[in-house]
Amino acid sequence: MHVVADGPFASALVPGRFRGGRPLWVSFHDHYLPCGLGRESCRDLWLSASRRLMISEELGRAYAAEFGNLDWEIVTDGIEEEEWRKPLVEKPEKIVIYFSGLLHIAYRPLFHSLALALDLLEPHWHGRITMRLRGTQKLDFLRNRSFGVEYLPPTADAAVLKSELDDATILYLPIKYSPPEFARYSLSTKMVGYLAAPGGIFYHGPRTGAAADLLGKNGASVLCDSEDPKQIKDALLSLMNSLGQVSESAKRLGHAQFDMERMRRRFWRIVG
């Protein structure tokens, strides 16, 4: 039986009588505080599981220290063979900054500061900057900006989403500052898809944490831990000047750690 450790009812199947003797596999995607699981429920799942599938090494080490030194393994999203693209190596004629998915209220300050930075960058690009948002709400502070803004409706069409990733120059990865456990332990699954795309990843959020540490030590992103528009602008220019190198590093990281076939084999491995 496979359970995702998220929300207040995730541990409802922990008592053995409900499982009928079936082994319990538990996927831990976020720390128990931001995902509303609760410490006691998380501890019960950790101790009862026959397999503990973690989204990041940081979360695995933290839970082992807090709940007991039991075995765990990394199993998260992966990249299919047909998803890989070659890195952008030449300076593009336009900048398309792309974000798709839920835009929580905690991300609004990051998007606002990014918009101010793009206003500073726009004179260098003369009307060739577009922020493309798929499936988000409309943001009042993005009206009447110096750059273009495109809102696209939600879609579950994987081919459409992939084509948009492939068309993006900059793949925007905001990570919220609060609660701190989110950035410290969660590894954005959005990031995994970004690794295969031609453009470069722009990480915007806390400098320390699972995603920042992984991207930073592999040179797979430009990191920006600031809401100051000038510092964000400088970080964006740094990414544009090293786009091919950053994207190539992202491909190496993706192949090494997020191959989908390898993830499938790891998930379905039968334990004795």
pLDDT digits (tens, 9 = 90+) for 92-120: 889 999 999 888 899 999 999 999 999 99
**The whole model's pTM is what?**
0.93
- Residue 271 within any structural domain of the chain: no
At 27 the pLDDT is 96
CB 95 within 8 A of CB 130: yes
User: Under a CB-based contact definition with an 8 Å cutoff, are residues 130 and 96 in contact?
Assistant: yes
Cα–Cα–Cα angle for 4, 202, 177, rounded to 5 degrees = 55
Higher pLDDT, 45 or 17: 45
Tell whether 51 and 99 lie within a shared domain: no
Residues 165 and 220 in one domain: yes
Q: Which residues form the domain of 122?
A: 82-257
Which residue, 245, 242, 271, is CA-closest to 70? 271
Domain end position, chosen among 28, 56, 75:
75
State how far the Cα of 128 lies from the Cα of 123, in Å rounded to an integer: 10
Domain check: are 12 and 145 in the same one? no
Residues 110, 240, single domain; the answer is yes
pLDDT tops 60 at residue 272: no
- For 237-258, the pLDDT digits (tens) are 999 999 999 999 999 999 999 9
Q: Are residues 39 and 110 in the same domain?
A: no
Average pLDDT, whole number, for the chain? 93
CA dist 152 and 138 (Å) reads 10
Work out how many domains the chain is built from and give that number: 2
CA distance 234 to 173: 17
